[in-house]
């Protein structure tokens, strides 16, 4: 099964980089910027690989009306007030600092994901990628985990309750950190299937996402958490993804698929330890690309997410654009990266740039065994009340 070439819009406004927690903070939009610069340096938007994907580079700030689809009015006022202070304070209990004009910066990224959503709703058969989005921890009334406004939750809510009035949305999250803001935001909503692969919450923030968290009320049985042990790697992820995701999506029959691609699960990330290689990301994205055409007229919205090693984030998200467009590039692991991009990478990060598409940091032996998969699938089957 192959979906073939597909219209794609990549949404990136350089003002996304104003979402900046300051020197020394692990989260930076610079690595997402470098993914778009890698696309540009590789001729992706020039039409050299066929019909040119679209690059939307001007994004406005989301309106209060749009943000209030998921967030509380009092929280918007808090973010505004913190961003207006001479010395902005914290937006949560410790890891999400405020910064000047943080409301506008966060609302612009949220708007980018909403623009991508509207594009795939207006043009069936097309995809959209917002590398700067995927801020999946924010709750309706508070920031969390470097996330101020939850752009993916806003997109899901807008797809369901906005002009499109979709009946069913599938959300797939492969970030190393559990997407708690999204899951709890739709925990009782039977219109949202949430499948979340992440590092076990006993070993990593936010400490949620266990197999017994399966939803409530109308949402019961539609929240599927797949916690993995540190160092699990591709050998754990790939068979579980193939075992769970395609059949669950085919059963649910979504009208839209939303993917959060957190690259913090990649080998070498300094904050998480799942040790995926590009093979995991390429496979997950290509599978969902094909399933979107099979199930929901190609409606697929992809965002970035976590990821704290720029060499990983930039290359994974650039390859994602190639896969979504049906014109993959960078698939030769030994293929060289553009010299101009490598020079820019080193100026922006002050780190040595990778030289090839497939260069991967050291990988440690996986802790994952066949019995771990069997135990996990048994627990999920028991909690969800069906054989998986």
Q: Six-digit token pair at 74? A: 């009092």
Measured between alpha carbons, how far apart are the two ends of the chain, in Å?
23
Q: Which of 159, 355, 133 is nearest to 257 (CA)?
A: 159
Rg (the chain; Cα; Å): 19
**Distance separating alpha carbons of residues 356 and 230, to the nearest angstrom:** 26
Report helix, strand or coil for 22: coil
**Distance separating alpha carbons of residues 164 and 296, to the nearest angstrom:** 14
Concatenate the DSSP letters of all residues of 90-118 into one string: BSSSSS-B--TTHHHHHHHHHHHHHHHHH
**Distance separating alpha carbons of residues 112 and 110, to the nearest angstrom:** 5
Q: Which of 244, 228, 195 is nearest to 386 (CA)?
A: 244
**Distance separating alpha carbons of residues 334 and 31, to the nearest angstrom:** 21
Residue with tokens 């690259």: 263
Distances (CA, A) of 311 to 119, 167, 186, 245: 29, 38, 33, 28
Whether the Cβ atoms of residue 279 and residue 328 lie closer than 8 Å to each other: no
**Distance separating alpha carbons of residues 303 and 281, to the nearest angstrom:** 13
H-state helical runs in 170-233: 180-185
Q: Which of 193, 73, 201 is nearest to 145 (CA)?
A: 201
Concatenate the DSSP letters of all residues of 288-341 into one string: HHHHHHHHSTT-EEEE------HHHHHHHHHHHHHHHHT---S-STTPBPPHHH
Upstream peptide bond of 206 is cis (omega within 30 degrees of 0): yes
Q: Which of 137, 198, 266, 273 is catalytic?
A: 137
Rounded to 5 degrees, what are φ and ψ at 378? Answer: -65, -45
Strand partners, 54: 9
Active-site residue flag, 198 = no
Give the catalytic positions in this structure. 137
């Amino acid at each position: 099964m192959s979906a073939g070439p597909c219209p794609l819009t990549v949404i990136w406004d350089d003002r996304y980089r104003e979402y900046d927690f300051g020197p020394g903070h692990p989260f930076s939009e610079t690595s997402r910027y470098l993914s778009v610069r890698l696309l540009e340096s590789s001729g992706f938007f020039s039409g050299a690989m066929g019909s040119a994907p679209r690059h939307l580079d001007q994004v406005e700030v989301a309106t209060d009306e749009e943000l209030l689809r998921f967030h509380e009015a009092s929280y918007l006022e808090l973010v505004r007030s913190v961003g207006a202070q001479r010395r902005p304070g914290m937006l949560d209990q410790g890891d999400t600092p405020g910064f000047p004009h943080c409301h506008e910066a966060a609302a612009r990224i949220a708007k980018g994901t909403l623009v991508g959503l509207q594009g795939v709703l207006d043009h069936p058969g097309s995809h959209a990628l917002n590398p700067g989005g995927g801020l999946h921890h924010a709750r309706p009334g508070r920031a969390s985990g470097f996330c101020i406004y939850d752009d993916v939750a806003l997109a899901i809510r807008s797809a369901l309750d906005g002009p499109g009035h979709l009946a069913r949305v599938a959300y797939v999250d492969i970030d190393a950190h559990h997407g708690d803001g999204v899951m709890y935001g739709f925990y009782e909503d039977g219109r949202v299937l949430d499948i979340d692969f992440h590092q076990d919450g006993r070993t990593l923030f936010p400490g949620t996402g266990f197999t017994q968290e399966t939803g409530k009320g109308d949402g019961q049985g539609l929240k599927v958490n797949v916690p993995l042990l540190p160092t699990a790697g591709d050998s754990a992820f790939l068979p579980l993804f193939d075992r769970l995701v395609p059949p669950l999506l085919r059963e649910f029959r979504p009208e839209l698929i939303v993917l959060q691609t957190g690259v913090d699960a990649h080998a070498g990330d300094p904050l998480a330890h799942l040790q995926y290689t590009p093979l995991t990301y390429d496979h997950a994205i290509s599978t969902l690309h094909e399933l979107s055409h099979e199930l929901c007229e190609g409606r697929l919205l992809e965002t970035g997410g976590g990821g704290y090693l720029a060499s990983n984030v930039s290359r994974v998200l650039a390859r994602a654009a190639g896969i979504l467009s049906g014109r993959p590039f960078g698939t030769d692991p030994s293929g060289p990266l553009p010299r101009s991009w490598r020079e820019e990478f080193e100026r922006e990060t002050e780190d040595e740039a990778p030289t090839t598409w497939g260069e991967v940091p050291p990988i440690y032996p996986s802790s994952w065994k066949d019995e771990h998969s069997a135990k996990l699938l048994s627990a999920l089957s028991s909690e969800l009340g069906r054989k998986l």
